[in-house]
């Protein structure tokens, strides 16, 4: 196989092979944009290396050939003593992993070529600075030496010279540093720094391969659900220099604002600096717009290129560029990461500009992003004490206790605290702390700094570059310009949308997107936010495109009404046990504990009117739309007193010589009914079969409520659903009773109550015998919560808190199967049940009402599996609408 591609040989569609960076460098090269020449080593080579511990046969020869071609094109050889070609060696995986893997710059320098470089550039300082950077980067990333050792050496020189600024160091200082660095390397490796340029390159390439499995890269991939087997490509690119003087520099640009999506010129520029200085957020940058003043010709050229790229990629692009003595070079581009709001706005703008179709636009926004837009934001009318302001790097409203290092962020968040991670700047080692924190605040670095890029990728609130806030990590405190001191543990609020930082907890209000869904904002009115207009447009498109209906899980009239405003087309699950919480719990307790028929009938009679009135409210809220009412499904323990507490109470009373008859009786009953494993015990249809009159009471309440609604001129559409059925016999008994009650109540009221009776499919046996079950069910609703629990043998109440984090860490699965449907296992059973159910009863209505009904990936599966609807919590209804549309489009 071919392992090495010149830039001109690739294109943007070869990301699997060349990685994102390599594929896009190739694309830019072929667009005729100024890209320094170079070549890309494929991900195949990396995978081979990682599997076999050595590079594939022939790779070195291929590299030699491409290097020779590069040298011929540039008219100089790698490390040539009088005029060296220098190269960078950069990682570049298929999916961008900002700062997670390695890069080595200035390869080709040694004691000889450094002099050649100095002579060619006419700049001693530059040459020796470049050389010490090479030894430093090489030592740290290739030879695994602690980076602090190099930093300390630089600090020592600065201290001696009485300065804190790198720019005050001269050629002599860098020469001295080169020697010091070489000594450090020799001491820590025994081999020293390799002076042979080709050897430098060989080792750097392997180090990039190795960095694919660096702990922080592994963690990042798990977070972002990037498969671990992809490997990285390696880009070898001839160096251009942004650190040749004030007429040189380096920068990052976006074709639109990645935070808000607004059009304009966005980016950061740093004069007299090299590559990583900008992204690392080490020195403070100037806004890109300032480049117009600094170097107008390059600025115009850059704007031109940005337009070319946007039109070509038909999307927001982000760009890294370098200006070497007034000449502009493109070092990278890619379709850029963006916030949820920017994603919606940009897709909408591109449709308006005629660059993409509405169909493509809807493909570019996700349900997860929509969910983010529905988060609350800070109340602007609340009284607030502003501590300061930084850049609005990643939107959202985060409140938490200030912490000043990642370790504390992780520790505190594990014990249930919300924390805001405050740093001067973040680096890739802070990743875990960033994941643990509610939000991130930095005092240095621009919108393209590590903190900003990573936070946006994670959808985490971030304010960066808040220079007026003095983040003092040593003393674990933050000092505001107003003199307020925030100690570790003090609560602050950060607004990633405005960049503001507030003292204490600021109250939050609903987002405009939620207010739009609630019908409080008219998207057609002129004043409405363009974000709301974009959401509206895409929702309309999805609603028209989707095949599946979207219903809501709602247990009371208020939730049902809200769900309907959010676009729900009915209730897919009304959990009647939720109607028995609070005061009514005692009624259920009495029912379960009843010793005599009389006692039981009394409790049932007391429950009936309460149930009926609840149903009336829900049917009214969903008038004309189906409401699936599930008969009682409590694992008994949810309704009985806790056995330990009750035992203690009885024992204490006894020790005092008292005797509480009621408690004693209760305790006996609780003992009798106690289950080791209540989730697999007496619940669902089993309860209906052993507690006489319970389910018929509920069906009667449904029937009476429907009859009342009919009398009032309404259009109730109840569906009666039996939970936890494992075999058709269970269903048959309850179904016959239910139909009888419907008939009886219909006769009492003089109306026809002809409502479907169906079942949940939430046990493996039900799925496997769906053909039989369908003969007695007019509909199926997949209860994927219990189905996941029983297919995996995972207790849904226990496992997530107990060992799932270990499972996620070890990569057993990338996401909990309770969150996102396990397509291979649980999904397979669903497919079987769909097929056999439809065969037995063509036209049977099929839905899902487990938590997965509102999960984007699962919604796509349900669409493919051929379900008629999904049902989810009211706030997820818009997400499910959008994703059902995207799945169908
Ligand atoms: C389910 O099991 O998926 C379901 C919807 O029912 P519940 O969560 O109430 O058990
Ligand atoms: Mg269930």
pLDDT digits (tens, 9 = 90+) for 487-534: 999 999 999 988 999 999 999 888 899 999 999 999 988 777 899 999
Question: Cα dihedral angle (539, 544, 546, 550), rounded to 10 degrees?
Answer: 60
State mean pLDDT over 409-421: 93
β-strand partners of 575: 630
- Counting from 1 in the atom list of ligand 1, the atom nearest the Cα of 575 is 9
Ligand nearest to the CA of 849: 1
Q: Which of 552, 639, 680, 785 to mutate to test the pocket of ligand 1 (most atoms within 8 A of CB)?
A: 785
Q: Ligand 1 within 6 A of 763 CB? A: no
Ligand 2 midpoint to CA 723 (Å): 7
**Best mutation site among 555, 687, 762 for ligand 1, i.e. most ligand atoms within 8 A of its Cβ?**
762
Task: Answer whether 853 contacts ligand 1 (Cβ < 6 A).
Answer: no
Predicted pLDDT of residue 273? 86
Distance 870 CA to ligand 2 centre (A): 15
Q: What is the mean pLDDT of the chain?
A: 92
pLDDT score of 20 more than 70: yes
Ligand 1 atom closest to residue 789's alpha carbon, by position in its atom list: 2
Using a 6 Å cutoff on CB, does residue 850 contact ligand 1? yes
Distance 631 CA to ligand 2 centre (A): 11
Q: Say how many Å lie between the CA of residue 738 and the centre of ligand 2.
A: 20
Ligand 1 atom with the smallest distance to the CA of 577 is 9
The protein residue with its alpha carbon nearest to ligand 1, atom 1, reads 783
Closest residue to atom 6 of ligand 1, CA basis: 783
Three-class SS of residue 10? coil
pLDDT at 283: 63
How many whole angstroms from 762 Cα to the centroid of ligand 2?
6
pLDDT of 285 strictly over 90: no
pLDDT at 418: 95
Shortest-distance atom of ligand 1 to CA 782: 3
pLDDT tier for residue 278 given thresholds of 50, 70 and 90: low
- State residue 752's pLDDT score: 95
Instruction: Verify whether residue 450 is a known catalytic residue.
Output: yes
Atom number of ligand 1 nearest to Cα 553: 5
699 CA to centre of ligand 1 in angstroms: 20
Which of the following is catalytic: 450, 536, 852, 860?
A: 450
Ligand 1 test: best mutation among 571, 572, 575, 819, most atoms within 8 Å of CB?
575
Q: What confidence score (pLDDT) does residue 469 get? A: 92
Q: Per mean pLDDT, which range of 210-224, 352-366, 702-716, 866-880 is the poorest?
A: 210-224
The pLDDT confidence band at residue 714, using thresholds 50, 70 and 90, is very high
Task: Spell out a b/e string for 333-357, using b for 16 or more CB atoms within 10 Å of the CB, else e.
Answer: bbbbbbbbbbbbbbbbbbbeeeebe
Q: Rounded to the nearest whole angstrom, what is the distance from the C-alpha of residue 553 to the centroid of ligand 2?
A: 12
* Cα within 13 Å of Cα(447), Cβ side: 30
Choose, from 536, 849, 852, 872, the residue flagged as catalytic: 849
Residue 36 has a pLDDT of 97
Tell me the DSSP string of 559-594. Answer: HHHHHHHTT--SEEEEEGGGGGSGGGHHHHHHHHH-
> Under the phi-then-psi rule, with left for phi > 0, alpha for psi from -120 to 50, and beta for the rest, what region is 111?
alpha
State yes or no: pLDDT of 459 exceeds 80. Answer: no
Looking at all shown ligands, the one closest to residue 634's CA atom is: 1
The 10s digit of each residue's pLDDT in 464-485 is 889 889 999 889 999 998 889 9
Residue 739 tokens read as 């139909």
573 lines ligand 1 (CB under 6 A): yes
Q: What is the Cα–Cα distance from 212 to 137, expressed in whole angstroms?
A: 17
pLDDT score recorded for residue 279: 55
**Ligand 1 pocket test: which of 786, 819, 847, 869 has the largest number of ligand atoms within 8 Å of its C-beta?**
786
Q: Please tell me the predicted confidence (pLDDT) of residue 688.
A: 93
Residue nearest to atom 3 of ligand 1 (CA): 783
Ligand 1, residue 785: give the atom nearest the CA.
3
Give Cβ neighbours of residue 747 (< 8 Å, ≥ 6 apart). Answer: none
> Domains in the chain, start-ordered, CATH in brackets?
4-238 (3.30.1490.20), 249-335 (3.30.470.20), 340-372+512-533 (no CATH), 375-509 (3.50.30.10), 546-634+683-888 (3.20.20.60)
Looking at the predicted structure, is the pLDDT value of residue 281 above 70? no
Q: How confident is the model at residue 845 (pLDDT cuts 50, 70, 90)?
A: very high
850, 851, 873: residue to mutate for ligand 1 pocket, most atoms within 8 A of CB: 850
Enclosing H/E stretch for 386: strand 386-389
| Ligand 1 pocket residue status of 762, Cβ below 6 Å | yes
What pLDDT is recorded for position 194?
96
Q: What is the mean pLDDT of residues 668-688?
A: 88
Identify whether 717 is a catalytic site residue. no
Q: Does the beta carbon of 785 lie inside 6 Å of ligand 1?
A: yes
Number of the ligand closest to the Cα of 782: 1
786 lines ligand 1 (CB under 6 A): yes
Query: Is 817 a pocket residue for ligand 1 (Cβ < 6 Å)?
Result: no
pLDDT exceeds cutoff 90 at 622: yes
Among 164-173, 176-185, 409-418, which stretch is predicted with the lowest mean pLDDT? 164-173
* Nearest listed ligand to the Cα of residue 783: 1
Considering only residues 630 and 473, tell me which one the structure prediction assigns the higher pLDDT: 630
| 849 C-alpha to ligand 2 centroid (Å) | 9
Evaluate: CB of 784 within 6 angstroms of ligand 1. yes
What local confidence, expressed as pLDDT, does residue 457 receive? 65
Q: Which ligand is nearest to the CA of 577?
A: 1
pLDDT in tens, 308-332: 999 999 999 999 999 999 999 999 9
Question: What HEC string does 161-219 produce?
Answer: HCCCCHHHCCHHHHHHHHHHHHHHHHHHHCCCCCCCHHHHHHHHHHHHHHHCCCHHHHH
What would the two tokens of residue 792 be?
Answer: 């995996």
Q: Tens digits of per-residue pLDDT, 208-239?
A: 999 999 888 888 887 777 888 899 999 999 99
Question: Ligand 1 atom 8: the closest Cα is on which residue?
Answer: 785
CA of 866 relative to ligand 2 center, distance in Å: 21
Query: How far is the first Cα of the chain from the last one, in angstroms, to the nearest whole number?
Result: 38
Binning the chain into helix, strand and coil, the percentages to the nearest 5 are 50, 15, 35
CA of 804 to the centre of ligand 1 (A): 20
CA-closest residue to ligand 1 atom 10 = 786
Residue 576 beta carbon below 6 angstroms from any ligand 1 atom? no
For ligand 1, is residue 849 a contact (CB within 6 Å)? Answer: yes
Distance (Å) from CA 783 to ligand 1 centroid: 5
Parallel, antiparallel, or unpaired for β 377-378 and 571-575? unpaired
Out of 419-428, 680-689, 706-715, which region has the weakest mean confidence (pLDDT)? 419-428
- Ligand 1 touching residue 791 (CB < 6 A): no
pLDDT higher than threshold 80 for residue 195: yes
Q: Which of 106, 121, 147, 873 is nearest to 555 (CA)?
A: 873
Nearest to 729 by CA among 764, 691, 772, 699: 772
Q: What is the pLDDT of residues 71-81, one digit of tens each?
A: 999 999 999 99
Task: Please tell me the least confidently modeled range out of 182-196, 591-605, 686-700.
Answer: 591-605
Weakest-pLDDT range from 249-253, 372-376, 800-804: 800-804
**Ligand 1 centroid to 573 CA: how many Å?**
9
Regarding an ipTM greater than 0.85, the answer is yes
Query: Which pLDDT score, from 0 to 100, does residue 53 have?
Result: 94
Q: Report the percent of the chain where pLDDT is more than 70.
A: 98
Given a cut of 70, is residue 282 above it in pLDDT?
A: no
State the pLDDT at residue 277. 65
* Shortest-distance Cα residue to atom 9 of ligand 1: 575
Indicate the burial class of 793 (C-beta count within 10 angstroms; 0-12, 13-18, 19 or more).
exposed
C-alpha radius of gyration, the chain, whole number: 33
Residues 129-157, mean pLDDT to the nearest whole number: 93
- Our mutation pick for probing the ligand 1 site, out of 572, 760, 871, counting the most ligand atoms within 8 A of Cβ, is 760
Asked if pLDDT for residue 449 goes beyond 80, the answer is: no
Q: What is the pLDDT of residue 670?
A: 84
List phi, psi (to 5°) of 677: -140, 70
Q: List Cβ neighbours of 75 (8 Å cut-off, separation of 6 or more).
A: none
């Amino acid at each position: 196989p071919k392992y090495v591609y010149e830039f001109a040989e690739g294109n943007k569609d070869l990301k699997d092979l060349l990685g994102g960076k390599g594929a896009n460098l190739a694309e830019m090269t072929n667009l005729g944009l100024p890209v320094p020449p170079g070549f890309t080593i494929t991900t195949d080579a990396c995978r081979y290396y990682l599997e076999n511990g050595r590079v594939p046969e022939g790779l070195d020869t291929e590299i030699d050939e491409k290097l020779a071609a590069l040298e011929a094109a540039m008219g100089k050889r790698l490390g040539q003593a009088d005029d060296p070609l220098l190269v960078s060696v950069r990682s570049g995986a298929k999916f961008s992993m900002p700062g997670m893997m390695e890069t080595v710059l200035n390869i080709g320098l040694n004691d000889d070529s450094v002099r050649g470089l100095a002579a060619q550039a006419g700049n001693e300082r530059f040459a020796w600075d470049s050389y010490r950077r090479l030894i430093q980067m090489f030592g740290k990333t290739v030879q695994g030496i602690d980076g602090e050792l190099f930093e300390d050496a630089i600090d020592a020189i600065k201290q001696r010279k009485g300065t804190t600024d790198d720019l005050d160091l001269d050629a002599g200082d860098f020469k001295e540093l080169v020697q010091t660095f070489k000594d450090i390397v020799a001491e820590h490796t025994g081999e020293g720094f390799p002076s042979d340029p080709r050897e430098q390159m060989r080792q750097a390439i392997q180090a990039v391969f190795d960095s694919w499995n660096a702990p922080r890269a592994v963690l990042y991939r798990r977070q972002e659900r990037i498969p671990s087997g992809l490997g990285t490509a390696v880009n070898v690119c001839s160096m251009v220099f942004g650190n040749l003087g004030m007429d040189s520099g380096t920068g990052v640009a976006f074709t639109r604002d990645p935070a808000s999506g607004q059009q304009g010129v966005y980016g950061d520029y740093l004069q007299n600096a090299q590559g990583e200085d900008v992204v690392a957020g080490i020195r403070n940058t100037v806004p890109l717009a300032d480049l117009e003043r600094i170097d107008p010709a390059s600025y115009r050229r850059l704007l031109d290129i940005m337009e070319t790229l946007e039109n070509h990629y038909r999307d927001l692009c982000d760009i890294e560029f370098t200006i070497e003595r007034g000449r502009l070079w493109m070092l990278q581009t890619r379709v850029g990461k963006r916030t949820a709001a920017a994603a919606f706005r940009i897709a909408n703008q591109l449709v308006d500009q005629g660059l993409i179709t509405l169909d493509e636009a809807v493909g570019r926004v996700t349900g997860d992003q929509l969910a983010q837009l529905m988060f609350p934001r800070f109340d602007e009318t609340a009284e607030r004490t502003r501590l300061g302001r930084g850049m609005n790097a990643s939107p959202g409203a985060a409140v938490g206790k200030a912490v000043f290092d990642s370790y504390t962020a992780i520790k505190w968040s594990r014990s249930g605290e919300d924390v805001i991670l405050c740093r001067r700047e973040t680096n890739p080692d802070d990743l875990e702390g960033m994941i643990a924190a509610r939000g991130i605040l930095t005092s240095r670095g621009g919108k393209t700094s590590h903190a900003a890029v990573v936070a946006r990728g994670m959808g985490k609130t971030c304010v960066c570059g808040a220079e007026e806030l003095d983040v003092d990590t040593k003393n674990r405190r933050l000092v505001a310009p107003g003199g307020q001191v925030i100690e570790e543990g003090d609560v602050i609020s950060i607004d990633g949308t405005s960049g503001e930082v507030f003292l204490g907890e600021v109250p939050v209000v609903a987002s405009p997107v939620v207010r739009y869904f609630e019908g409080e904002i008219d998207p057609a009115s002129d004043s409405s936010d363009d974000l709301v207009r974009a959401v509206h447009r895409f929702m309309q498109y999805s609603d028209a495109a989707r095949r599946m209906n979207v219903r809501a899980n709602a247990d009371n009239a208020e939730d049902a009404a809200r769900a309907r405003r959010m676009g729900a087309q009915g209730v897919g699950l009304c959990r009647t046990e939720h109607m028995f919480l609070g005061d009514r719990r005692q009624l259920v307790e009495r029912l379960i504990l009843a010793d005599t028929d009389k006692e039981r009938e009394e409790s049932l009679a007391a429950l009936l009117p309460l149930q009926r009135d609840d149903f009336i409210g829900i049917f009214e809220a969903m008038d004309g739309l189906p409401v699936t009412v599930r008969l009682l499904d409590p694992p008994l323990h949810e309704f009985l007193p806790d056995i330990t507490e009750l035992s203690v109470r009885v024992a204490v009373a006894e020790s005092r010589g008292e005797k509480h008859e009621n408690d004693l009786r209760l305790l006996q009953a609780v003992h009798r009914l106690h289950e080791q494993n209540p989730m697999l015990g007496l619940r669902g249809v089993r309860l209906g079969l052993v507690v006489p009159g319970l389910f018929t009471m509920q069906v009667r309440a449904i029937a009476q409520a429907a009859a009342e609604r009919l009398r009032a001129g309404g259009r109730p559409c109840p569906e009666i659903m039996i939970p936890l059925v494992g075999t058709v016999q269970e269903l048959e008994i309850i179904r016959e009773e239910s139909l009888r009650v419907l008939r009886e109540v219909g006769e009492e009221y003089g109306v026809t109550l002809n409502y479907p009776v169906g079942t949940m499919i939430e046990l493996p046996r039900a799925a496997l015998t769906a053909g039989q079950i369908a003969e007695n069910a007019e509909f199926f609703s997949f209860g994927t919560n219990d189905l996941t629990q029983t297919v995996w043998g995972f207790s849904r109440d226990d496992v997530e808190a107990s060992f799932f984090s270990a499972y996620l860490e070890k990569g057993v699965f990338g996401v909990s199967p309770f969150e996102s449907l396990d397509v291979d296992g649980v999904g397979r059973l669903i497919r079987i049940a769909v097929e056999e159910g439809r065969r037995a009863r063509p036209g049977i209505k099929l839905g899902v009402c487990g938590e997965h009904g509102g999960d984007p990936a699962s919604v796509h599966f349900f669409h493919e599996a051929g379900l008629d609807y999904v049902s989810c919590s009211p706030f997820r209804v818009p997400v499910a609408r959008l994703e059902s549309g995207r799945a169908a489009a």
